[in-house]
Chains A and B, each alone.
Chain A
């Protein structure tokens, strides 16, 4: 039942749901519907549970609104008020459109994260299927350790998104199209508008001043594009144009930027001047002053365009570095130069720049960590391999001389007799020894275990191992048991282990037995579980003894 403190945002009468007349209530956190004449709500959904809403198309006779929940169910409301059905539905739809996004993000993000983790890691997915789907442990315990920092770092994550910069060519993207009859269509998207506002705060100022009091948005932009401010040749026309002030401000900004100059003392912009007479004619001596009146008409229009370009680029760069400051019209904030004035700050900057230019980090002398020299007293010990001291066979020198003489004598007349190398008897005994089952082949006969056990058993065994490992990890992490929370968890984990054993391990063992396979496959798993049980038993008895 609706609590009295809930704020009701919208009430719509004559809304049918499942062929029953009733009233639809939209509250601050949920939407609810109650049948006519009754006090209670039969249908109530939190906005957080609703995934999306759908409306029936306009042409249909029935005016309907459907809510689809995250869990997949859907509820349909039929607006049956003859006169205002469509309006009611529109009102409900608008309100939902505003409210749903607020609640959507919180629930979604967790689910999305979980889904993403399960999809990316098939091992995790398998573990999830083995443990949670078969009800060995609950989903919360499973996600307890894994989601970890997700909820805590939510605000931090949002803020660390990077800001999108401004494309330098955004004005060019506007690209007018001819309208057929002497007109031009300019396509303005929200992105372009935002870029214009960020780059030219003066324009933004004008916009705020004039819209919506004096001009509509469309008119503002029409004027903008018509004004000479926007076009190339900025010859100042009459004061009708609201943008002439902008032009004047731009000029002021440009002048101040020029005055500020560049912070790097090693860069001298003044020496970069065009000094050519004409193309291919070399340099001329620089004129002492280049005031406007000395220039030709062509030069002054070039000058205007160049000035425009420089100004535009400077504004784009400045907008990028301004990053969310909302000071208006401070075009001089492009360089955060307030320190240029006093000479006090000059030397350190210059020194830093000079040092950067002449020193290289790689060429510095390396100050490695101090080491102690190795001082070996008996280094011959290393030369002896792991050959234990054995008693050497002692041969007398007489024996040695005899043997050597014997061999020498034997080999003086050596000729190879390759037809008498092997007797057949010797050969057959050798072959017998080398054949499977022979003397030399005893140890290699048995097959490795992975050849004997079919692969599906192997796969299942692997899953069992990972599931058991997960449970045992939870179990053993409870020790030492310091808090009642850990005690509860411990008892729960023990029952989980037992449940795991009965539901998963025993059927697997039966399956193995039926196939007459090696029964030792699960011996190790059982050993691990037994160790856990005995530890639990010991802990329990100790606890009993401590209490009594």
Chain B
């Protein structure tokens, strides 16, 4: 059992890409963004209800911005007192406050949203970075003697953005260094980046077969924390494709050539590396010169 002093912080990063969700709503009307947010709230409430010392943060991530749904940034006036109004159904006050804040924030967020230009990809790497910063801040603010264990749960809807690769990898390694788990709950298409993230940090990756039952999957698989997971029978880790892509064609290769100077990967040998322009000398086998045949002059 976790000791009284151990704080468990869960940061949920929800992908609210409006383009994807709009298309999803048209495809499957029974599972819309509202339903998804409801399920996330259920998960968040459950986490907070598990222990007095559990903490929560929720980040919404879309094409332009990552926005904290909870906790709300205080405006310095100490207006937290207003939110203490009870919900009237006898719910634990912290939960009702949290739910209200989250609902309000998401309403505001979605009403202000607009898509500019051709940036249709979710800024997931940025959201993860914000989550890491938040976790870092909370860890620094705790009192001496308190352990804090953090994990990030990513609920992913839209596809991967290949331009965010470097940032993603940086985030993953930073999380690994800080012993922060990254779990992933993927709604539609498999994401290689998140698979790697889960593999490297030790979290769970799950692609859900049924979107409408998302709440069940969240509670079953992602609610227990790292220690408890070792006692449970959970879906086994997926096989991660760690093959590198060659620099010339972007094919995934298993055996290739690596330039010893700039470490760029190629699928075929070429005597000059195109990235750093180093020339490679390889000894070719000796050519046997054929005898010159004398042409008969007829």
Chain A residues near B (Cβ < 8 Å): 374-379, 381-389, 393, 395, 399-408, 410-412, 414-418, 420-423, 426-427, 429-431, 433-434, 436, 439-441, 443-444
Contacts and interface: CB of A to CB of B under 8 A. Distances in A.
A431 B220 contact: yes
Contact of A416 (B26, B99, B206, B212): B99
Interface stretch (B16-24, B48-56, B74-82, B223-231): B16-24
A403 B21 contact: yes
Contact of A434 (B21, B217, B245): B217
B12 interface: no
B32 A444 contact: no
Given A384-B245, A386-B244, A444-B236, A402 B22 contact: yes
B120 A411 contact: no
Contacts of B103: 414-416
Given A410-B32, A416-B37, A434 B235 contact: yes
Given A416-B38, A441-B233, A408 B212 contact: no
B276 A374 contact: yes
B110 A411 contact: yes
A386 B236 CA distance: 24
A393 B160 CA distance: 12
A379 B34 contact: no
B42 A418 contact: yes
B282 interface: no
A301 to B, nearest CB: 68
A443 B236 contact: yes
Contacts of A411: 33-34, 106-107, 110-111
Contacts of A386: 192, 242-245, 252
Contact of B213 (A416, A420, A422): A422
Contacts of A399: 19, 23
Contact of B159 (A374, A377, A393, A405): A393
B216 A426 contact: yes
Contacts of B287: none
Contact of A384 (B250, B252, B274): B250
A367 to B, nearest CB: 23
Given A382-B264, A418-B99, A441-B236, A412 B107 contact: yes
Given A407-B33, A421-B38, A400 B206 contact: no
Nearest to B25: A406
Contacts of A402: 22
Given A430-B216, A434-B217, 10 more contacts: A378-B275, A382-B166, A386-B192, A386-B252, A388-B245, A407-B25, A416-B102, A440-B235, A441-B236, A444-B236
Contacts, number: 174
Nearest to A435: B233
User: Which of A402, A412, A433, A443 is most buried by chain B, counting CB atoms within 10 A of its CB?
Assistant: A433
Given A375-B277, A422-B215, A414 B106 contact: yes
Contacts of B215: 421-422
Contacts of A436: 233
B210 interface: yes
A172 to B, nearest CB: 57
Contacts of B160: 387
16 contacts: A374-B261, A377-B274, A379-B275, A384-B245, A385-B245, A395-B120, A399-B19, A400-B19, A403-B25, A404-B113, A412-B107, A417-B34, A417-B38, A422-B39, A427-B213, A439-B209
A384 B25 contact: no
Interface string B144-174: 0000000000000001101101101100000
Contacts of B258: none
The A interface, classified by DSSP as helix, strand, loop or mixed, is: helix
B5 interface: no
A421 B35 contact: yes
A403 B23 contact: yes
Contacts of A405: 22
Nearest to A399: B23
Given A387-B245, A422-B213, A426-B212, A404 B38 contact: no
A403 B120 CA distance: 12
Contacts of B212: 422-423, 426
Most chain B beta carbons < 10 A, residue from A387, A427, A429: A387
B291 to A, nearest CB: 31
A377 B273 CA distance: 10
Interface in B96-118: 99, 102-103, 106-107, 110-111, 113-115
Interface in B256-271: 261-262, 264
A417 B120 CA distance: 29
B30 to A, nearest CB: 10
Contacts of B26: 403, 406
B41 interface: yes
A420 B23 CA distance: 23
A520 B160 CA distance: 42
A422 B22 CA distance: 21
A426 B166 CA distance: 38
B119 to A, nearest CB: 11
A385 B165 contact: yes
A400 B209 contact: no
Contact of B210 (A385, A417, A430): A430
Nearest to A426: B213
B110 A407 contact: yes
B247 interface: yes
Contacts of B193: 385, 387
Interface in B1-47: 18-23, 25-26, 32-35, 37-39, 41-42, 45
Contacts of A406: 22, 25-26
